[in-house]
Structure 1
Amino acid sequence: MENKVAVVTGAGGTLCSAMAIDLAKQGYKVALLGRTEEKLKVVENKIKANGGIAISVCGDVANEEAMKAAKDIVENEFGICTLLINGAGGNQNDALPNITEFDERELEHNNEIKGFFNLNMKVFQNVVEINTMGTVIPCFVFGKSMAKHKQGNIINFASMTSYRPITRVAAYAMAKNGIQSFTQWLAAYLAPAHIRVNAIAPGFFLNDRSRKIMFNSDGSQTDRAQNILRQTPLKRFGEASELIGCMNWLINEKNAGFVTGITIPVDGGFLSSPGV
């Protein structure tokens, strides 16, 4: 494509910032979308320091009007989006129980026990919304221009929880399971418009939030980290750079032009290990 314009949501995060930087090196004009301008500007400055082209656009990916405004900015600055990467999402502590199975004390509103029955349902709903509609709405908004011009490529972010639920993350797992299904549906729907839609399912990668979950203050691994690595045959966490090859294969029309509707795990073998 002569006009290579990439829109990357969640671009201020560890994984998507690495993807955005690599796309800029390939000659894409990169629009960095997210809610925190400060984080986006860090990535924008890195891209520009390397001679690339990027802009930061703040907005809530789960808000249709905000995404329409973002699309107008992108199209005025760069032109029609040809690659959309939906990396925005995440979890919230108030949606996470601190137990992994039912305990009667959660019915008594015991302050030490946070189970499913004393979670904050508004926060639970918010996690589902940002991880589902936060992908659907950018596809709806930017995909419309792609369809009009009969070209484009969409990569969604799935998760290990797209395949099986993981303890304590019910809202996130519910949403990411839906992303895998939505990716398949949208791929079939947009095929006549020559738009391929796929997803990447990262395994356990470290970012600012996950480091607090995986490591104690003294640097030792938490029980959760040890459980994850026990079921990860490669016995380590992933690095952001290790998603780049998968992304580049999916966006390459020569090598992956017949690939659409799939979700690719990049997980160190996590899904291949049943734990027994």
Structure 2
Amino acid sequence: MNLFDLSGKVALITGATHGLGLAMAEGIGSAGAELAITSTTPSKLDEALEYYRSKGFKAEGYLFDVTNQTEAAKQVALIEEKHGKIDILVNNAGIIKRVLAIDMPVEDFRQVIDVDLVGPFIMSQLVAKGMITRKSGKIINICSMMSELGRDNVSAYAAAKGGLKMLTRNLATEWAKHNIQVNGIGPGYFATSQTKPIRVDGNPFNEFIINRTPTGRWGNPEDLAGTAIFLSSEASNFVNGQIIYVDGGILATIGKPSNE
């Protein structure tokens, strides 16, 4: 089990104040890593830090927008100074705007691309400099099933996540020689506060997801913890440029098998 031990490691996880980001950070913290989490909302950051510390994790918070290159550079330098290094970067911060493509303002499209694709590029570029010097590092990009599939209302999000998938593969190719592994996690449909309104009996989308997923349920946030730990640890040292889809089997099938 030492392969999965993250003791002595420092993990920078963007947007880790709630939902899937919090679940992955909790998993990485439970494996022994020191946490540096980011947010753009002071109250959410304080609440998350209180939660992590109540679990016994060593955690610090940093307020900045990952799309602001100047501010991000200052904060990454501060994190490296305070924690000594950054061993693991999880590019989790992201947004989605559910608008039909025909109606979507261009500025909204650009904003989604900026947060979901340019932000991870900025953070990876900044953090990789120290990783290259140390000849060691793990970068995990949070992709999506929309990296593979189309769907109405999410054209900007799908474009960004598809781009993030290819950014993952290109950074892995460039930085592998420095012993840096760059991989992605593609979550399926998870039970979070954002999906709570549609996860009710009788809601057509709720029934669709349950029937479309071979596992027959929504994912629980903690279902992502194991994959996050694996990609952060020495167990994944020869895994590079891959996207691991944690989706209950959705992408493996054209439909949930019948009971017959």
TM-score (norm 2): 0.91
Q: Distance in 2 between matches of 1:4 and 1:275?
A: 41
Q: Which of 35, 39, 55 is 1:30 aligned to?
A: 35
Q: Which of 13, 22, 27 is 1:17 aligned to?
A: 22
Q: Which of 125, 135, 151 is 1:166 aligned to?
A: 151
Deviation of residue 2 (structure 1)? Answer: 7.1
Q: Which of 108, 112, 115 is 1:130 aligned to?
A: 115
Equivalent position amino acid for 1:14 in 2: G
Q: Distance in 1 between matches of 2:184 and 2:196?
A: 24
Cross-structure match for 2:58: 53
Which structure is higher in RCO with an 8 Å CA cutoff and minimum separation 6?
2
Deviations 1:238-258 (A, max 9, x none): 0111011111222221x2211
Deviation of residue 222 (structure 1)? Answer: 2.7
Report if the CA contact (8 A) 2:201-2:207 is conserved: no
**Bigger Rg, structure 1 or 2:** 1
Q: Distance in 1 between matches of 2:58 and 2:111?
A: 33
Q: Does 1:199 align with 2:201?
A: no
Equivalent position amino acid for 2:253 in 1: S
Report if the CA contact (8 A) 2:213-2:248 is conserved: yes
% identical aligned pairs? 31
Q: Which runs of 5+ in 1 are unaligned?
A: 98-115
Equivalent position amino acid for 1:60 in 2: D
- Aligned to 2:194, the other structure's residue is in SS state helix
Report if the CA contact (8 A) 2:35-2:59 is conserved: yes
Deviation of residue 208 (structure 1)? Answer: 2.1
Alignment map for 1:91-110 (pairs within 5 Å): 91-93=96-98, 96-97=99-100
Equivalent position amino acid for 2:230 in 1: W
Q: Does 1:148 align with 2:133?
A: yes
Equivalent position amino acid for 2:149 in 1: R
Cross-structure match for 1:101: none
Q: How many residues align?
A: 251
Equivalent position amino acid for 1:230 in 2: N
Please list every run of at least 4 consecutive aligned residues from structure 1 whose deviation after the TM superposition is greater than 4 angstroms.
Answer: none
Cross-structure match for 2:3: none
User: Pairwise CA RMSD of aligned residues?
Assistant: 1.7
Q: Which runs of 5+ in 2 are unaligned?
A: 1-5
Equivalent position amino acid for 1:251 in 2: S
